Amino acid sequence: MDWQAYLIAGLIVAFAAWQLVPLLGARRARGRAVPGLAAVLDERQRTQSRLLVYFHSPRCGMCAVMTPVVSRLAAGRDDVVQIDVTEAPAIARAFGVMATPSLAIVENGLIARLMVGARNEAQLRALLDA
């Protein structure tokens, strides 16, 4: 094998590892307390024991598709919170968000689950009703 083949194989492995970093970070976030979240919640959301927190960015292509769906859900529910990571980077760091779109399930002030990637409306409703 030539050195080019090793270079290509190394680049493929590096790219795969780069894709896994946000997923591994999401697994480590489970069970952590979330400081600073109360600052972005309204009065009705503070009374909820379970919240779906949606992290998005204006430059994210998948977020452009997913944000209207989440906005429709948030309009009728008190347990959906939308956070723009460019406006609240400290909260995103507290959650361990490394990529957008990301979703977090917060139960009683602790991160129960952190997910990276887009979800459709049916999946979001299933997360909310679980």
| pLDDT digits 0-9 by tens, 56-107 | 999 999 999 999 999 999 998 888 999 999 999 988 888 888 889 999 998 8
Is residue 78 within 8 A of residue 50, CB to CB? The reply is no
The top-level CATH class assigned to 3-129 is alpha beta
pLDDT band at 53 (very low <50, low <70, confident <90, very high): very high
Domain boundaries, given as residue ranges, for the chain:
3-129
- Exposure string over 55-76, b if 16+ CB within 10 A, otherwise e: bbbeebeebeebbebbeebbee
Q: What angle do CA 121, 123, 124 make, to 5 degrees?
A: 65
